């Protein structure tokens, strides 16, 4: 598992109570602090294995799984689910499901992806965007179950959206936003928690440790350079970030060459090349700036 952090939660997916209980025992032996049960994934492969969002149609089995995990370990157990499944798309369905699970188990935290799951004839990726978001249904759960910890997930992409969510529920979960903008948490620390931090200083502080970690993963046998470099692809923004990602993508596409160097070396080389490229283009732009009469000023006038 690697280093076990105190706020780590390991998600399990499965449908057989005895196997899930055994998996929970293994996780506890490794020092995992908490477990989450996946009841929200809509992919066809997951459906075929009878877990993920399809389990919302079988609350009795979900209860049996949670009870088995509760009996096998004393780890905190939460569930992550959708707000509905296919035609079962009402407040009552969701409330009945949550009541069935939480009233018979030690589950006290529910993470709700604020979209229903469409399980028939739709790619899993479209389940992230096609079903409309319904935050009000999540807020309704928080009102109906004040004794539970309710976490909102889905489509949260701004500090204002985080604030609005925290006004109505106990927490907000970020997913794709963190993949595409990992330094967004710096904005959260500054704007929500009042910490005197900025993106540049935080990035410069954490990047060496991140590269050391990626080197260790590479040394342990992870061969995909594309996978290894993914965490750093969006650490830089604007023109430098775009240039860096382009250079990195070209280097990674030359698979043999990319795999022959350490990940940290590859990233540093690509970053240095990107900085040189951006600086050179800026210098060239300044040197060819046109000389001529002052440009006209266009003013908007109200009639």
User: What pLDDT was estimated at residue 249?
Assistant: 93
Q: Is the pTM of this model over 0.85?
A: yes
Show binding-site residues for FMN.
11, 80, 113, 153-155, 175-176
Which entry of 41, 66, 81, 270 is annotated as an active-site residue? 41
pLDDT digits (tens, 9 = 90+) for 107-153: 999 999 999 999 987 887 887 888 999 999 999 999 999 999 999 99
Higher pLDDT pick, 90 / 281: 90
CATH topology of domain 10-180: TIM Barrel (3.20.20)
User: What pLDDT was estimated at residue 298?
Assistant: 42
Show binding-site residues.
11, 80, 113, 153-155, 175-176
pLDDT digits (tens, 9 = 90+) for 11-62: 999 999 999 999 999 999 999 999 999 999 998 888 888 899 999 999 999 9
User: What pLDDT was estimated at residue 2?
Assistant: 63
Where exactly are the structural domains of the chain?
A: 10-180, 199-284
Answer yes or no: is pLDDT of 157 > 60: yes
User: What pLDDT was estimated at residue 48?
Assistant: 80
Is 41 an annotated catalytic residue? yes
User: What pLDDT was estimated at residue 283?
Assistant: 73
Pairing of strands 35-39, 10-12: parallel
CA trace torsion 272, 273, 276, 278 (10° rounding): -110
User: What pLDDT was estimated at residue 122?
Assistant: 82
Higher pLDDT pick, 2 / 180: 180
């Amino acid at each position: 598992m690697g280093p076990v952090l105190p706020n780590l939660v390991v998600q399990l997916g499965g449908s057989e109570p005895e196997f899930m209980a055994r998996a929970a025992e293994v996780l506890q032996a490794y020092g995992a602090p908490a477990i989450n049960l996946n009841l929200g994934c809509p992919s066809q492969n997951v459906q075929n294995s009878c877990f993920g969002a399809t389990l919302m149609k079988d609350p009795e089995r979900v209860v049996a799984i949670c009870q088995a995990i509760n009996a096998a370990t004393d780890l905190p157990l939460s569930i992550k689910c959708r707000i509905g499944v296919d035609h079962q798309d009402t407040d009552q369905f969701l409330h009945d499901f949550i009541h069935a699970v939480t009233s018979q188990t030690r589950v006290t935290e529910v993470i709700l992806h604020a979209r229903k799951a469409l399980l028939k004839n739709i790619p899993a990726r479209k389940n992230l965007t096609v079903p409309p978001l319904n935050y009000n249904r999540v807020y309704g759960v928080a009102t109906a179950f004040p004794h539970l910890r309710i976490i909102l997930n889905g489509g949260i992409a701004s500090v204002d959206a985080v604030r609005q969510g925290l006004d109505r529920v106990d927490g907000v979960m970020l997913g794709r936003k963190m993949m595409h903008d990992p330094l967004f948490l710096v904005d959260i620390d500054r704007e929500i928690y009042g910490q005197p931090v900025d993106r540049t200083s935080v990035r410069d502080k954490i990047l060496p440790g991140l590269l050391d970690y990626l080197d260790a993963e590479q040394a342990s046998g992870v061969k995909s350079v594309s996978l290894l470099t993914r965490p750093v692809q969006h650490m830089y923004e604007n023109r430098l970030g775009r240039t860096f990602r382009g250079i990195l993508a070209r280097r990674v596409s030359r698979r043999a060459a990319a795999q022959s160097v350490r990940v940290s070396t590859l990233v540093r080389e690509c970053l240095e090349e990107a900085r040189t490229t951006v600086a050179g283009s800026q210098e060239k732009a300044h040197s060819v700036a046109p000389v001529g009469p002052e440009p006209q000023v266009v003013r908007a006038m109200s009639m």
